[in-house]
Copies of this chain bind each other. A is one copy, B any other.
Amino acid sequence: MDKAPRVQEKSLHERILGDIEGRILSGEWAPGHRIPFEHELTQEYACSRMTVNKAMGELVKRGLIERRRRSGSFVTQPHAQSAVLEIHDIQREVQALGLKYLYRLDNRQLRKATADDRRLLEIKPNAPVLSLLCRHYAADVPFCLEERIINVATVPEASDADFSEVGPGSWLLKMVPWSAAEHRIRAVAADKSVAEALAIPTGSACLVIERRTWNGQNYITHVTVTYPGDRHELVAQFMPSQQM
C-alpha cells in the first residue's frame, strides 16, 4: 500500500494516541467508557492493527486505559497523582543556579558498622562502612549538609578515595551502577550542630532528603542531605509517562 509521506507530521501511532488521550482528558470519554476496539480503530485510521496497538499500549503505560481480553479497552478511574521528581547532583545544581560551587569534607571515618549503619544499609554487624560528613557551598554560603555512609563491601574502591576534592555523590555516580533508590523527604528543625554547619539559627526549618541506593543485590550507600528550608525547593513535574 502506498503512503503519502507528508512532511513534519506526527507519526500515525502518535496521532492515534493523541486523539484518544485528548478525548479522555477532555472528559468526552469518561472513566469506564469503552473505547473503540482495535479493529474499529484500524478502519477509522485506515492502518494496520500493529499501529493501533502501539498507541493503545502507550495509553496503558500512561494509566489512561485498562484493557481486558474479550471485553475491550476502558478509560480508567482517575488515579493517584504520581510525579517525576528529578534529584540532581549537588554540584550541577549549584552551578545551574549560576553560583560558585565549593565542596568541603568535614569528616571521614572508616569504621565497623554501628547499629544505625546496619539498619540503614541492611548489612551484618562489623561490616566496614565509610562514614562521611561534608558540606556544599554556593557562592561561599553553605548550601547543604551531606551525611553519608558507604557500604565498603560493595564499593571497595571507596576506602582508597579520600573525597577531599570530589564529593562522594558525584564520585559514586561515576563509579557505581545502581538500579534503584528510595527517597524520603521531610521537614525538620535544625538542631545545634546542623545549624552551625549551615550557618543558620537553631530551630530553622530544613528540608531533609534521605536516599538509599541499591544495586540489585545490596545497599550501596545511604545519604542524608539537609538544606536550609528557605534556600531550597524541590520541583517535580507530573507527566503521564515519558513523552513520545
Residues on A close to B: CB < 8 A?
21-22, 24-27, 50, 61-63, 78, 80-89, 92, 173-174, 176-189, 203-208, 211, 215-216, 227, 229-230, 232-242
Provided the pairs A83-B85, A84-B84, A85-B84 are in contact, do residues A78 and B229 lie with their beta carbons within 8 angstroms? Answer: no
Inter-subunit contact A242/B241 (CB<8 Å): yes
Residues of B within 8 A of A83 (CB): 84-87, 181, 183
Name, among A180, A235, A238, A242, the residue most crowded by chain B CB atoms within 10 Å (CB to CB): A238
Inter-subunit contact B183/A238 (CB<8 Å): yes
Residues of B within 8 A of A187 (CB): 187-188, 205-208, 227, 229
Determine the residue in chain B with the shortest Cβ distance to A231.
Answer: B186
What are 25 sample pairs from A and B whose C-beta atoms fall under 8 A apart? A22-B216, A25-B179, A27-B176, A61-B242, A62-B242, A80-B89, A81-B87, A81-B88, A82-B86, A82-B87, A83-B84, A83-B87, A85-B183, A180-B239, A180-B240, A182-B235, A182-B236, A184-B234, A184-B235, A186-B207, A186-B232, A189-B204, A205-B206, A241-B241, A241-B242
Provided the pairs A24-B177, A83-B84, A84-B82 are in contact, do residues A186 and B238 lie with their beta carbons within 8 angstroms? Answer: no
Name, among A92, A208, A229, A232, the residue most crowded by chain B CB atoms within 10 Å (CB to CB): A229
Residues of B within 8 A of A63 (CB): 242
The complex places the Cα of A123 from the Cα of B76 at a distance, in Å, of 30
> Would you give the shortest CB distance from A120 to chain B, in whole angstroms?
15
Inter-subunit contact A238/B89 (CB<8 Å): no
- Mostly helix, strand, loop or mixed at chain A's interface? mixed
6 shortest interchain CB distances as A-B pairs: A187-B229, A205-B205, A187-B187, A181-B238, A187-B207, A183-B236
Inter-subunit contact A186/B85 (CB<8 Å): no
Residues of B within 8 A of A205 (CB): 187-189, 204-206, 229
Residues of B within 8 A of A61 (CB): 241-242
The complex places the Cα of A181 from the Cα of B240 at a distance, in Å, of 10
Residues of B within 8 A of A240 (CB): 179-180
Residues of B within 8 A of A25 (CB): 177-179, 215-216
Inter-subunit contact B86/A229 (CB<8 Å): no
> Would you give the shortest CB distance from A101 to chain B, in whole angstroms?
16
